[in-house]
Amino acid sequence: MDRDEFNAFCKSLPQTTHVVQWGGADVWKVGGKVFAIGGWATKETLGVTFKTSEIGYEVLKDMPGLRPAPYLASRGMKWIQHYDAPGLSDNDLKDHLKSSHRIVAKGLTKKLQRELDLYQDE
Protein backbone atom coordinates (compact mmCIF):
# COMPACT_ATOMS: atom_id res chain seq x y z
CA MET A 1 0.00 0.00 0.00
CA ASP A 2 1.40 3.38 -0.92
CA ARG A 3 0.68 6.70 0.76
CA ASP A 4 -2.14 7.66 -1.62
CA GLU A 5 -3.87 4.29 -1.14
CA PHE A 6 -3.46 4.56 2.64
CA ASN A 7 -4.98 8.04 2.71
CA ALA A 8 -7.84 7.10 0.39
CA PHE A 9 -8.69 4.06 2.50
CA CYS A 10 -8.61 5.95 5.81
CA LYS A 11 -10.73 8.71 4.27
CA SER A 12 -13.36 6.11 3.30
CA LEU A 13 -13.95 5.11 6.94
CA PRO A 14 -16.82 6.82 8.80
CA GLN A 15 -16.33 10.26 10.39
CA THR A 16 -12.57 10.51 9.85
CA THR A 17 -10.43 13.62 9.86
CA HIS A 18 -6.89 14.05 8.56
CA VAL A 19 -3.98 16.19 9.68
CA VAL A 20 -0.32 16.24 8.72
CA GLN A 21 1.90 16.39 11.79
CA TRP A 22 4.87 14.76 13.49
CA GLY A 23 7.39 15.34 10.74
CA GLY A 24 5.01 15.09 7.78
CA ALA A 25 3.06 12.00 8.84
CA ASP A 26 -0.52 11.53 7.67
CA VAL A 27 -2.50 11.24 10.90
CA TRP A 28 -6.07 9.93 10.75
CA LYS A 29 -8.54 10.49 13.56
CA VAL A 30 -12.09 9.60 14.50
CA GLY A 31 -13.79 11.81 17.08
CA GLY A 32 -10.51 13.67 17.53
CA LYS A 33 -8.61 10.51 18.52
CA VAL A 34 -5.83 8.97 16.40
CA PHE A 35 -6.50 5.57 14.84
CA ALA A 36 -3.83 5.45 12.08
CA ILE A 37 -0.55 7.10 11.18
CA GLY A 38 1.15 6.80 7.80
CA GLY A 39 4.70 7.88 7.08
CA TRP A 40 8.33 7.02 7.62
CA ALA A 41 8.72 4.74 4.63
CA THR A 42 11.49 2.15 4.67
CA LYS A 43 12.67 1.15 1.20
CA GLU A 44 9.40 0.64 -0.71
CA THR A 45 7.19 0.09 2.34
CA LEU A 46 5.05 2.86 3.82
CA GLY A 47 5.23 2.86 7.60
CA VAL A 48 1.69 2.42 8.90
CA THR A 49 0.91 2.53 12.61
CA PHE A 50 -2.43 1.39 14.03
CA LYS A 51 -4.11 0.50 17.31
CA THR A 52 -4.95 -3.14 17.95
CA SER A 53 -6.57 -5.38 20.52
CA GLU A 54 -4.46 -7.05 23.19
CA ILE A 55 -4.68 -10.39 21.37
CA GLY A 56 -3.91 -8.75 18.03
CA TYR A 57 -0.90 -7.06 19.56
CA GLU A 58 0.48 -10.36 20.85
CA VAL A 59 -0.02 -12.04 17.46
CA LEU A 60 1.38 -9.20 15.34
CA LYS A 61 4.29 -7.82 17.38
CA ASP A 62 6.83 -10.44 16.30
CA MET A 63 5.78 -10.92 12.68
CA PRO A 64 8.40 -10.03 10.05
CA GLY A 65 7.94 -6.44 8.92
CA LEU A 66 5.86 -5.54 12.01
CA ARG A 67 6.87 -4.29 15.44
CA PRO A 68 5.43 -2.64 18.51
CA ALA A 69 4.99 0.99 17.48
CA PRO A 70 7.89 3.14 18.65
CA TYR A 71 6.90 5.57 21.41
CA LEU A 72 3.29 4.34 21.69
CA ALA A 73 3.98 0.72 22.63
CA SER A 74 6.74 1.74 25.00
CA ARG A 75 4.06 3.51 27.02
CA GLY A 76 1.93 0.38 27.33
CA MET A 77 -0.38 1.17 24.44
CA LYS A 78 -1.31 -1.62 22.02
CA TRP A 79 -0.11 -0.10 18.76
CA ILE A 80 1.67 -1.92 15.91
CA GLN A 81 3.80 -0.46 13.15
CA HIS A 82 3.91 -2.08 9.71
CA TYR A 83 7.34 -0.86 8.62
CA ASP A 84 8.98 -3.30 6.20
CA ALA A 85 8.39 -6.28 3.93
CA PRO A 86 6.94 -8.80 4.12
CA GLY A 87 4.57 -7.28 6.68
CA LEU A 88 0.87 -7.51 5.98
CA SER A 89 -0.88 -7.82 2.65
CA ASP A 90 -2.84 -4.74 1.61
CA ASN A 91 -6.11 -6.51 2.43
CA ASP A 92 -4.91 -7.56 5.89
CA LEU A 93 -3.58 -4.06 6.55
CA LYS A 94 -6.97 -2.60 5.58
CA ASP A 95 -8.68 -5.03 7.96
CA HIS A 96 -6.41 -3.88 10.79
CA LEU A 97 -7.03 -0.22 9.95
CA LYS A 98 -10.79 -0.86 10.07
CA SER A 99 -10.37 -2.59 13.41
CA SER A 100 -8.26 0.28 14.74
CA HIS A 101 -10.95 2.74 13.67
CA ARG A 102 -13.58 0.66 15.46
CA ILE A 103 -11.50 0.28 18.66
CA VAL A 104 -10.88 4.02 18.85
CA ALA A 105 -14.49 4.93 17.99
CA LYS A 106 -15.81 2.53 20.65
CA GLY A 107 -13.57 4.30 23.18
CA LEU A 108 -15.25 7.65 22.55
CA THR A 109 -17.95 8.83 24.92
CA LYS A 110 -21.41 7.43 24.18
CA LYS A 111 -22.59 10.97 23.56
CA LEU A 112 -19.90 11.56 20.91
CA GLN A 113 -20.58 8.15 19.36
CA ARG A 114 -24.25 9.16 19.00
CA GLU A 115 -23.35 12.59 17.59
CA LEU A 116 -21.07 10.96 15.00
CA ASP A 117 -23.52 8.09 14.37
CA LEU A 118 -20.83 5.50 15.04
CA TYR A 119 -21.44 1.86 16.03
CA GLN A 120 -24.79 2.51 17.70
CA ASP A 121 -26.29 -0.83 16.61
CA GLU A 122 -23.78 -2.91 18.56
Task: Give the chain's end-to-end CA distance (angstroms, integer).
Answer: 30
**Overall domain count for the chain:** 1
Tens of pLDDT, residue by residue over 43-95, are 677 899 999 999 999 999 999 999 999 888 777 789 999 998 899 999 999 99
Residue 121 lies in a domain: no
Confidence grade of residue 121 (pLDDT, cut at 50, 70, 90) = low
Domain of 38, CATH number, reads 3.90.1150.30
Domain that holds residue 106: 3-116
Tens of pLDDT, residue by residue over 5-18, are 999 999 999 999 99
Residue 122 lies in a domain: no
In this prediction the pTM is 0.91
Q: How far apart are CA 34 and CA 48, in angstroms?
A: 12
